[in-house]
Homo-oligomer: A and B are copies of this chain.
Amino acid sequence: MPRLAADTVTTPSTPPTAGAERALRLRFARVRARTAALAAPLTPEDAQVQSMPEASPAKWHLAHTTWFFVRFVLDEAPASMPAGWDTLFNSYYVGAGERHARHARGLVSRPTLAEVLAWREAVDLRVQARLDAGAFEPAALDALLLGTHHEEQHQELLLTDIKHALWCNPLQPAYARDDSEAHDLAPPPESTADDAGGAAWLPRDECIVEIGAAPWPGPAAAFAYDNETPRHRTLVPAHAIARRPASNGDYAAFIADGGYRTPALWLSDGWDAVQREGWQRPLYWHADGTREFTLAGWRERDPRAAVRHLSCYEADAFARWADARLPTEAEWEASHAALAGTGQAWEWTASAYAPYPGFRALPGTLGEYNGKFMSGQMVLRGGSCATPPGHARASYRNFFPPQARWQFSGLRLAKDID
């Protein structure tokens, strides 16, 4: 039975142990500090920019994640904040009151970045003081844990959005002050020698698999978002899935073979996007064919690294060109333990983002977290170079509209077998 600090919850729950509280306290401190570190390279001007309606200013990410703790953990009234902030920093929770227009976040010059950072510190102190005093109800502790996972999601979004904002500047400056701050520099790729050895594909006969996670919060349940639940059985057809993700080199071959000029390879909506947007290569690839824009500025592209910044339409067209297809999310999850390269780029799947059988959203306002977006989006699995360490898991379901490509998104091939 869920026991989040939400409006409709009344069931008492077992008090957490002292050890669990200590771990939560450490986790809270670590996550909050990491967010501040991600903001450190930014000027106040950088943190102000909203490059498109789908993106948010870095300052807004910093403020919204703090608002989440104020409203759902400290459970403070809106009046505890400076006037207007409750509206400004509510993202999409209709149950929590009015929201500022999403596309106009970049117009809000005040509060300043410095004021937002000071607010973060003040809220952190209040949370810590309540933890010290053992004053949180179990439900509030659940919300606190959720808030740290929520903030980790925004850590990735902050990097995703600031990369786009800086790329929109004709000067295309770097976010990172040195390479240690550039999360999207290509890691040393794993060996792909086994590709030639015939083990590039992982075959699987038709079978029933269990995917998903047990509902959280619940007895002995590990953290998971509601959209990952419940754990359930599904039938996976006979198929093979690629051991490694598609690489920059693979995708360059698709381009060289005229992929962007061959309508038969594309979904109808995808071909429309190619023509309307003038797509000729992944976002952030240079027309010179060798470089890509990274958080450290322009760099040589590594042909062995996972291809990134593809829309689902591009991933799907590439797969068709390769005489393959995208995997379903069940296929992906069934084989995840054997997949290499995961963690370089989110992998588009063939699965529309939809509720699992038996899905129930979290109660109350937090029920808006995931469920209401189950329309018009596709599931991505895995994780990316910008995902906080330890944030994702095998059952994790990321989701974006099929035309989006400013996030760190690539693909892995799958195919039917007899």
Contacts and interface: CB of A to CB of B under 8 A. Distances in A.
A1 interface: no
A100 interface: yes
B235 A208 contact: yes
A300 to B, nearest CB: 20
Interface of A: 43-49, 51, 59, 83-84, 87-88, 92, 94-95, 100, 104, 106-113, 165-166, 168-171, 173, 206, 208, 232-235, 237, 239, 263-264, 266-271, 312-313, 316, 325, 350-352, 354-355, 357-358, 368, 372-376, 402, 416
A170 B173 CA distance: 31
A169 B109 contact: yes
A397 to B, nearest CB: 14
A87 B170 contact: yes
A250 B100 CA distance: 35
Q: Which interface residue of A87, A109, A113 has the most chain B CB atoms within 10 A?
A: A109
Contacts of A166: 109-110
A375 B267 contact: yes
A208 B325 CA distance: 24
Contacts of A270: 375
Nearest to A45: B109
A220 B413 CA distance: 34
A206 B235 contact: no
Contacts of A47: 45
Q: Top 9 A-B pairs ranked by shortest CB distance?
A: A352-B352, A237-B357, A45-B109, A235-B235, A44-B44, A46-B109, A268-B372, A84-B171, A48-B48
Name the prevailing secondary structure of the A interface residues: mixed
Nearest to A232: B237
A109 B354 CA distance: 38
Contact of A100 (B92, B104, B112, B170): B170
A372 B267 CA distance: 4
B375 A313 contact: yes
A357 B109 contact: no
19 contacts: A43-B109, A43-B112, A44-B112, A45-B110, A48-B49, A107-B165, A107-B168, A109-B166, A110-B171, A208-B235, A233-B237, A237-B357, A267-B372, A267-B375, A268-B372, A269-B375, A316-B375, A352-B354, A376-B376
A43 B375 CA distance: 40
Given A84-B171, A376-B376, 13 more contacts: A43-B110, A44-B44, A46-B109, A48-B109, A100-B170, A109-B169, A110-B171, A232-B237, A237-B357, A264-B368, A316-B375, A350-B355, A351-B354
Given A49-B109, A100-B170, A372 B266 contact: yes
A236 to B, nearest CB: 9
A416 B357 contact: yes
Contacts of A358: 237, 416
A263 B233 CA distance: 32
Contacts of A87: 170
Contacts of A44: 43-45, 48, 112
A88 B170 contact: yes
A224 to B, nearest CB: 19
